[in-house]
Structure 1
């Protein structure tokens, strides 16, 4: 059982796949952290830039509010003289003199980046400084212009004491946001290029760290696999000696006490079972280490003949259990491979079907060919497999409590070996099953 556990772990362990999974997990975490950090930096910077602009515009509007009364008075005089036009027109632009500016300190604004507009209590434009004008009606607070390129702050202006305030109008300060948008664009490019660089360096560092961290694990699993192979190999000789001794004892039953015959038979059965387990472990270890691919030469052979030979071999076992063994095979299906391996694959599946099919049941073997693939179906009317167990039946040493307790002997290696051999041929095995109805194992193998 210790050997089985070691082999099972070595089978499920893939250093390359584990390395990539760890690296992808590491990169996902780092990219998430980097993305959140970059977004936080961008939003913080954007908020600060606009907050500074709003503060400047607020100071500008507060300073300009002291001139509202004078500008309104001058506006009224010019309106009475007929120099302004329709005061309700949204297009009306009002100045305090004829030279196109305001003879106050606001005429030196950074045109056209900034502008100040004065409104009376009825929200009519009575004056402006700078060439930056906003078509939006004055709304107290902060807002963007219609084209979302102008940042605006509008403040109400009051006259009188705190107890008797009178709304005189509104002062609106405007500023183009192009300068901030240029800074934010550069920041986005910087964060993007910097992020790519950081991700690249993080990936290289992650590869190195993952490789270093997996070295002890890989060495441990290689040692476990080597131990499994060595232990299984060393067990073959003493098991062969025990089997030979038991066979000699069974050959001369008259030399044994009658009460010892059953004990000798139990020893023989256990020895055969252990020898089969050791051979299975050796085969799986060789498959795990790709030794078979280096030592076995594939030749063109007939899959139909292999299945026919197996059906003939199992015919007597099926008759002994009163199981009907049927076949629907295609003639002359040829593929390249090793005859012993393919025979082992389908022998394990047939043994499994016969073991779990009760007396009076039926096992059917059929073949289909689709394109460059051949499909072999082994269907039984046995006890079936629960849906929650279907994903585990190909694990080594796995047994479902209900289905597998019927089996005498065996260690749950047959399906694992069948799957390992199928994968060596770039094939696959799928299974469908229903409790108390039966199971169907479908083997797909490429022909080329």
Structure 2
């Protein structure tokens, strides 16, 4: 064939790059979740502690103010200023709550009918007395209140004498919490940056032994595949010589030789596939300048003609639809192998009476080759895995004898070798469609 050349090209394997990003993102996600959870827990605990401290202060003030309720009810004292006291005939009225009251607080006394009879301070929310303690928003200001019921002595009578309500603005607490939120936000940004840098370093360090092992495995695969070619070739030659002289073979050994020949062919094919993948995985291979212009339409015509006997043997219609003549720069052997794998798969997995359509067209800056069949199809959960090496679904494994699960992996590798890609759509029981896309050559 005119496009048969010996060329290689550097293909960057994205496996470790994508794995590195997945590890990094997973690490960052976990660390961010832990950091966010910790910050929320600290904030909630700190907020709870501040409000609990405030409630204790209100309770202390309320206990002190309770002792003044009887005198206030008796004399109807109305305290209008926080530090102002009215005097009775006996002199100063002893009010112990006054020494512990804060400027942002308010004290109110109510009778048994819930009518306010006195007040002191600056904070007086217009709310009922139905709650023991509650936080209210009045004029965009949060107010914390504590209401205590005062019973007449002795307590067994349970006669309500009145109520005392203490109110305090939470502005100071909100300012502290605001500063805490700002500090946590700045700290979170710093922690995120440090976590990202640390994650990148940890990811790189964790992948180093894996990369070394993978490189050793690739080298071993290449070396083993190369070394296995010679003994397999010698065994195959001996079997062919024996089969060429059937008169020297005992009739009972004919089937055994056929089985040996079939096994050797499968082993040879597997070794060639592994050797091809090992070579394309080598990052040191540079882009060849000896690539030639390949008439892709002629290559597909020859390939369909080559596979037509297999399709006829299965009674599968193999059709070719070429919209226009298309030229592509690349390696003819690799392109032949790429489309051979795809079309062979389509024929193998299509039942008798089915169809396989191969089409070629050029759209804008891309060349599209479509291999569509009416075969068994691929389930949606298996679609992301079909290009993995040595992977086959159970249904496919029972359908095709002798396959090793490298065909689609080789096809995808060769497509990427030519700056292309393979995408697939499939429906179980109705067939599959493999779309191969290449960048087209500029118009002359």
TM-score normalised over the length of structure 1 = 0.80
Aligned to 1:141: 132
State the distance in 2 between where 1:132 and 1:438 align: 77
The question of whether the paired residues in 1 share the 8 Å contact of 2:377 and 2:426 is answered with no
Aligned to 1:212: 205
2:176 match: secondary structure? helix
2:76 match: secondary structure? helix
1:50 match: secondary structure? helix
State the distance in 2 between where 1:377 and 1:330 align: 12
Aligned to 2:423: 429
State the distance in 2 between where 1:321 and 1:172 align: 93
Q: Does 1:227 align with 2:210?
A: no
Gaps of 5+ in 2: 1-11, 87-92
Deviation at 1:280, TM superposition (A): 0.9
Are the structure 2 counterparts of residues 161 and 358 from structure 1 closer, same or farther at C-alpha, using a change threshold of 3 Å?
Answer: closer
Aligned to 1:353: 346
Aligned to 1:53: 54
Matches within 5 A, 1:161-240: 161-240=154-233
The question of whether the paired residues in 1 share the 8 Å contact of 2:369 and 2:435 is answered with yes
Aligned to 1:84: none
The equivalent position to 1:310 in structure 2, one of 293, 297, 303, is 303
Aligned to 1:284: 277
1:145 match: secondary structure? strand
Matches within 5 A, 1:64-79: 64-75=65-76
Deviation at 1:412, TM superposition (A): 3.0
Aligned to 1:41: 42
Aligned to 1:112: 103
CA RMSD of aligned residues (A): 3.4
State the distance in 2 between where 1:417 and 1:74 align: 100
Aligned to 1:17: 18
State the distance in 2 between where 1:95 and 1:409 align: 101
Q: Deviations over 1:416-441 (max 9, x none)?
A: 21122223323123042443x54433
The equivalent position to 1:332 in structure 2, one of 325, 338, 352, is 325
State the distance in 1 between where 2:314 and 2:438 align: 30
1:332 match: secondary structure? coil
The equivalent position to 1:341 in structure 2, one of 334, 337, 341, is 334
Aligned to 2:89: none
Gaps of 5+ in 1: 1-10, 77-93
Aligned to 1:79: none
State the distance in 2 between where 1:131 and 1:353 align: 86
The structure whose RCO (Cα within 8 Å, separation 6+) is larger is: 2
The question of whether the paired residues in 2 share the 8 Å contact of 1:427 and 1:446 is answered with no
State the distance in 1 between where 2:410 and 2:358 align: 19
Are the structure 2 counterparts of residues 28 and 442 from structure 1 closer, same or farther at C-alpha, using a change threshold of 3 Å?
Answer: same
The question of whether the paired residues in 1 share the 8 Å contact of 2:80 and 2:120 is answered with no
Q: How many residues align?
A: 418
Deviation at 1:123, TM superposition (A): 2.1
Q: Does 1:127 align with 2:113?
A: no
Are the structure 2 counterparts of residues 329 and 160 from structure 1 closer, same or farther at C-alpha, using a change threshold of 3 Å?
Answer: same
- Structure 1 stretch displaced more, 256-265 or 155-164: 256-265
- Structure 1 stretch displaced more, 343-352 or 106-115: 106-115
1:102 match: secondary structure? coil
State the distance in 2 between where 1:61 and 1:317 align: 97
The question of whether the paired residues in 2 share the 8 Å contact of 1:111 and 1:132 is answered with no
Matches within 5 A, 1:380-419: 380-385=373-378, 389-419=382-412
Are the structure 2 counterparts of residues 141 and 262 from structure 1 closer, same or farther at C-alpha, using a change threshold of 3 Å?
Answer: closer
Deviation at 1:235, TM superposition (A): 1.8
2:58 match: secondary structure? helix
Deviation at 1:186, TM superposition (A): 1.6
Deviation at 1:120, TM superposition (A): 2.0
State the distance in 2 between where 1:349 and 1:290 align: 26
Matches within 5 A, 1:360-371: 360-371=353-364
